């Protein structure tokens, strides 16, 4: 008895664990998980952090720099120079009676060392430091836009996957309804055959159609499984993790009556913002090229000790020095003019690219607007067609029971109903996807 209790208890724990592992997610939760998991977004954020660090470094470039330099050198066998003895000359250049004894002079030392604390401060570099700060600001803005672009790509992909999965789940429901309906038809036709009203051929027709729908249901289940694996990968789950979503039917709340085309909507697009920032960078680089040929003034001060000391009269004495360094470009064979032309052409190229991108984005917005309007129109048509096919199917079923029509007529009506329903579901999914594409086009996703 105890063994059975243990087995039942373990089974309950296993069932609870399986249920806990199953994800039932809404669209918002799927998008949040996809954003958190995306490696592309993480990489873009890392680039943004790097750009922010560069911006901080550029702000520090105009501050004083303090450096400590030190060194030590030991020579085991220093070089010596022997000076022979000789009489010293007089003031008139004559040889005196005073004799200088021979001695040895060290040309190198056993111990050589130095230590210096240096302070440097750029005073004027033609505005280059300020321009560098402007560029790092632009680079940071570009990195921010890249993060947002990656987010938009992930959100777009997630919504497309989500609504495609919902449409497949809804298609599965329709296929199950068709299977149940056709089973009833097979039963009804079989009864009619037993009563001698129809031939066996009518039963075979119904069974063939039933098998076709079952095969279609298998295909839908396979597609659902593949799409769930793709969503799991996108949101950071294990591929085989059971996945459930809160939506099983696509609901369309509006019919697009509030749609309005705004050709200037591209101003919200991050592609335009990136190109605009790049154009500003190129303009700033033009200024840097000019600043390279302005006078450069840097101040410095050093305080240190060294042995041997060539700056002081006494060995190992602390000493200091300070000064200004000025550099003025004079003649470089027209180098400045050529570099300015090169920078100007680069800026113009970016401007042309920006103009072309605006034209393409305007076209993209217009196309997205038309496709969304078309999706709403198709939704209305398919909805009307579904209502008509449902009425026709109900009518044909009653006629078959009254022995007015053949099985073929009913099966045709059923096929038309299933196709109309499939078209209606596809139209709803297309509306959802086109809404997302339109929001992306106008920069509101």
User: Can you tell me the distance from the alpha carbon of 386 to that of 422, in angstroms, rounded to the nearest whole number?
Assistant: 9
What's the CA gap between 190 and 200, in Å, rounded?
Answer: 8
Three-state SS at 255: coil
Residue 398 maps to a domain: yes
Provide DSSP, 322-388: EEEEEE-----TTHHHHHHHHHHHHHHHHHHHHHHHHHHHHHHHHHHHHHHHHHHHHHHHHHHHHHH
Residue-level pLDDT at 6: 46
CA-CA distances (angstroms) from residue 219 to 172, 224, 307, 331, 429?
Answer: 10, 9, 88, 77, 19
| SS3 label, residue 401 | helix
Which CATH number do you get for residue 138?
A: 1.20.1600.10
Residue 233 inside a domain? The answer is: yes
pTM of the full predicted structure? 0.80
Helix 128-194 with 27-37: angle, nearest 10 deg: 140
Which pair of tokens denotes residue 354? 């920006």
In a domain, 116, yes or no: no
Residue 161 lies in a domain: yes
Tens of pLDDT along the chain (445 residues) come to 444 444 444 444 444 344 444 568 999 999 999 999 999 999 999 999 999 999 999 988 888 889 998 888 777 766 666 677 667 776 776 776 776 777 666 656 667 778 889 998 888 888 888 999 999 999 999 999 999 999 999 999 999 999 999 999 999 999 999 999 999 888 888 888 888 777 888 889 889 999 999 999 999 999 999 999 999 999 999 999 999 999 888 888 765 555 666 666 778 889 999 999 999 999 999 999 888 888 888 998 988 887 766 554 445 567 788 888 888 888 888 888 888 899 999 999 999 999 999 999 989 999 999 999 999 999 999 999 999 999 998 888 887 777 676 788 888 889 999 999 999 999 999 999 999 999 899 888 8
In 195-322, alpha helices (H): 200-235, 270-291
The H or E element containing residue 304 is strand 296-307
Per the domain annotation, does 101 fall within a domain?
A: no
Domain extent at residue 347? 22-75+126-294+332-441
Pair 318, 304: CB distance under 8 Å? yes
Question: Is the residue at 63 inside a domain?
Answer: yes
Count of the separate structural domains present in the chain: 1
Q: Is the dihedral of CA 216, 221, 225, 231 positive or negative?
A: positive
Rounded to an integer, what distance in angstroms lies between the CA atom of residue 129 and that of residue 41?
A: 31
The pair phi, psi for residue 319, each rounded to 5°, is: -145, 160
The closest of 213, 51, 255, 207 to 136, measured between CA atoms, is: 51
Q: What gap in Å lies between CA 145 and CA 270, rounded to an integer?
A: 6
Output the pLDDT for position 316. Answer: 56
Residue in 402, 397, 393, 395 with CA at minimum distance from that of residue 197: 402
Q: Which phi and psi (to 5°) does residue 94 adopt?
A: -85, 155
Judge whether 175 lies within some domain.
yes
Nearest Cα to Cα of residue 171 among 119, 219, 212, 132: 219
Helix pair angle (128-194, 200-235), 10° resolution: 160
Q: What per-residue confidence (pLDDT) applies to 126?
A: 83
**Rounded Cα distance, 127 and 290, in Å:** 9
In a domain, 303, yes or no: no
Contact between 318 and 303 under an 8 Å Cβ cutoff? The reply is yes
């Amino acid at each position: 008895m105890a063994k059975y209790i243990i087995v039942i208890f373990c089974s309950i724990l296993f069932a609870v664990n399986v249920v806990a592992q199953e994800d039932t997610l809404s669209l918002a939760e799927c998008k949040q998980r996809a954003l958190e998991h995306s490696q592309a977004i993480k990489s873009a954020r890392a680039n943004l952090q790097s750009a922010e660090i560069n911006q901080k470094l550029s702000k520090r470039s105009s501050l004083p720099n303090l450096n400590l330099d030190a060194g030590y050198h030991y020579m085991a066998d220093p070089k010596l120079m022997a000076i022979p003895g000789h009489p010293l000359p007089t003031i008139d250049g004559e040889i005196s009676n005073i004799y200088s004894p021979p001695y040895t002079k060290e040309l190198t030392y056993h111990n050589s060392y130095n230590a210096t604390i240096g302070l440097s401060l750029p005073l004027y570099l033609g505005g280059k430091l300020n321009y560098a700060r402007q560029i790092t600001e632009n680079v940071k803005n570009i990195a921010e836009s890249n993060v947002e672009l990656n987010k938009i790509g992930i959100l777009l992909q997630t919504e497309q996957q989500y609504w495609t999965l919902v449409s497949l789940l809804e298609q599965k429901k329709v296929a199950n309804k068709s299977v149940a309906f056709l089973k009833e038809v097979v039963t009804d036709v079989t009864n009619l055959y037993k009563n001698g009203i129809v031939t066996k051929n009518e039963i075979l027709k119904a069974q063939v159609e039933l098998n076709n729908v079952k095969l279609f249901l298998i295909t839908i289940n396979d597609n659902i499984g593949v799409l769930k694996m793709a969503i799991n990968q996108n949101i950071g789950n294990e591929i085989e993790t059971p996945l459930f979503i809160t939506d099983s039917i696509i609901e369309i709340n509006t019919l697009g009556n509030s749609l309005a085309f705004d050709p200037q909507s591209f101003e919200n697009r991050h592609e335009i913002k990136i190109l605009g920032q790049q154009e500003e960078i190129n303009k700033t680089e033009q200024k840097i090229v000019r600043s390279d040929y302005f006078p450069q003034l840097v101040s410095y001060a050093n305080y240190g000790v060294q042995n041997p000391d060539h700056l002081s009269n006494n060995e190992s004495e602390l000493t200091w020095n300070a000064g200004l360094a000025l550099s003025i470009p004079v003649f470089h064979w027209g180098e400045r003019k050529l570099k300015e032309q090169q920078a100007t052409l680069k800026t113009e190229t970016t401007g042309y690219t920006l103009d072309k991108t605006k034209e393409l984005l305007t076209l993209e917005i217009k196309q997205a607007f038309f496709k969304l309007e078309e999706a709403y129109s198709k939704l209305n048509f398919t909805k009307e067609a579904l209502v008509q096919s449902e009425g026709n199917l109900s009518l044909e079923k009653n006629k078959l029971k009254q022995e007015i029509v053949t099985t073929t007529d009913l099966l045709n009506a059923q096929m038309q109903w299933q196709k109309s329903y499939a078209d209606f579901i596809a139209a709803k999914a297309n509306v959802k996807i086109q809404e997302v594409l339109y929001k992306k086009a106008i920069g509101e996703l």
